[in-house]
Each structure stands twice: as C-alpha cells, then as structure tokens.
A and B are shown apart, each in its own frame.
Chain A
Amino acid sequence: AQTVTQSQPEMSVQEAETVTLSCTYDTSENNYYLFWYKQPPSRQMILVIRQEAYKQQNATENRFSVNFQKAAKSFSLKISDSQLGDTAMYFCAFMKPSAYSGNTPLVFGKGTRLSVIA
C-alpha cells in the first residue's frame, strides 16, 4: 500500500517570502501521479500542482513549483512570493495510474498548516 508522509504539521512564512513544504511517499509502482492540494478555511479542496512520475521536469504553476526526486521518493512544494491568500492546509497526495484513472483514489498525507504572516 502507498503511504504519504508530511513531516511538518505547521509552518509560517512572512508575506512575499518563499517557503518549502516537504512530502515523502512510499510505493513500489514505477509510474504514478503526485499532487499538492490546498484546503483554505472554506475547506474546499483546490488542486495546486501535479506531477507525473515519468516526467523528469519539475512541474511549475506560477508561484508554485515542485522539487520531485523520484529515487528519494520526495515531492516538495515551493511557494514563492507568499501571499496572505496562501494561508491554508496543504495536502500532498499520491495516485496510482490505471487504464481508467477515474477509479483510483487519492492517498493523502496528514497535511501541513501554512500561515502567511503580514
């Protein structure tokens, strides 16, 4: 079974600064997908960024980027120019691929609560 570990329960960062959230995972699969989801106080889950394991290039989405180290099974999220609206719970998640990906669930880490301070 796959496991996802987030070792930082809480973090804080000053507005406009950069912060990195850590995530490690364990799997015997060679191909899979990794995600970072954001859950703001509204509790609506929002996709921040995704990475396909067979792609060596790290994914980026505007101020958000990942450092994907497949051999180390590490998938950290870097948030640049942090904004107050980035304050949220951040969950790292793993998904196995299947012929029809609609039927494979996400496995979540325990989350990191990020506070952006003005």
Chain B
Amino acid sequence: GAVVSQHPSWVICKSGTSVKIECRSLDFQATTMFWYRQFPKQSLMLMATSNEGSKATYEQGVEKDKFLINHASLTLSTLTVTSAHPEDSSFYICSARPPGHPPSTEAFFGQGTRLTVV
C-alpha cells in the first residue's frame, strides 16, 4: 500500500514555543491531506483539510492562527503549532489518499506525532 510518513514521532517543547510537524506522501502525490487530533483514549477529530497550493480548510472550533498548515508541494504538508500551551499536548495524525481513476477510497495514515508541551 501507499506510504505516508510523519515526523517527528514525538516532541517535547516549552510553553510559548512553536513546533512543526511534517507529513509526507512517499510514493504518491497528494493534493489533499488531512490533519487529525486524538486525545488519550478518544477518537480522531478532524482539525483541517490541507490543500496543495491553497489555504487549508479548518473545522469549526480550530484556531487557524494557532495551527498553521502549509501544503507547499504535492508530497508535503506541515502543521505548525504556534505559541504552544500544555492544553495543545495531544497526538496528531495526518492522512492522505492516493489519486486515481476511480478515486482511491483507502486512506493512509502517518505514524502520528505525540506532542507534549511543558
């Protein structure tokens, strides 16, 4: 199957600093990538849809100025948590589906990033 790689796997940062998480599609081009957040023992909640070459679409309640998304190429989307606070500590997961005709229905996920803000 297709491969989506996410980096870093875990990161610890101090309050007030910014952290960048990368999501790469290694063997296909992804015009769209999705960013999810998962709290402990909870479900994956969609944060935003990342669109190559255009602005991301954020879900209601997600602060676009805090969670900056850049999708500068067809294989890379980045999520930057700005001015991180302890409540931003969570597990962040990206996802993408390979293009095709007919369109692929299987989503592939990165390994996830555990962010801890101290």
Which residues of A line the B interface, CB within 8 A?
33, 42-45, 47, 50, 52, 91, 95, 98-103, 105-111, 113
Question: B111 at interface (Cβ–Cβ under 8 A)?
Answer: yes
Most buried by B among A43, A101, A105, A111: A105
Interface residue SS majority, chain B: loop
Q: Is B96 among interface residues, defined by CB-CB distance under 8 A?
A: yes
Stretch at the interface among B11-19, B30-38, B77-85: B30-38
Q: A42–B114 Cα gap in the complex (Å)?
A: 12
Q: Once the chains are docked, how many angstroms separate the CA of A42 from the CA of B21?
A: 18
Name B30's contact: one of A43, A45, A99, A102 (CB within 8 Å): A102
Chain B residue with the shortest CB-CB distance to A50: B105
Distance between A34 CB and nearest chain B CB, rounded to angstroms: 10
* Chain B residues within 8 Å of A99, by CB: 103
Are B43 and A103 interface neighbours, CB within 8 A? Answer: no
B26-53 with Cβ < 8 A to chain A: 30-32, 34, 41-46, 49, 51
- Would you call A103 and B105 a contact (CB within 8 A)? no
**Given the complex of chains A and B, what is the CA–CA distance between A102 and B98 in angstroms?**
7
Chain A: minimal CB distance from B110 (Å): 9
Interface size band for B: 20 to 34
Is B111 within 8 A of A33, CB to CB?
no
B93 at interface (Cβ–Cβ under 8 A)? yes
* Chain A, Cβ-Cβ closest to B97: A102
A37 smallest CB distance to B (angstroms) = 8
CB contact between B103 and one of A43, A50, A102, A105 (< 8 Å): that residue: A102
A108, B43: Cβ atoms closer than 8 Å: yes
Residues of B within 8 A of A42 (CB): 111
Contact A102 B112, CB 8 Å, known A108-B43, A110-B42: no
19 contacts between A and B (CB under 8 A): A33-B105, A42-B111, A43-B93, A43-B111, A44-B111, A45-B44, A47-B106, A52-B105, A95-B105, A100-B99, A101-B102, A101-B103, A102-B31, A102-B98, A102-B103, A103-B31, A103-B51, A105-B49, A111-B42
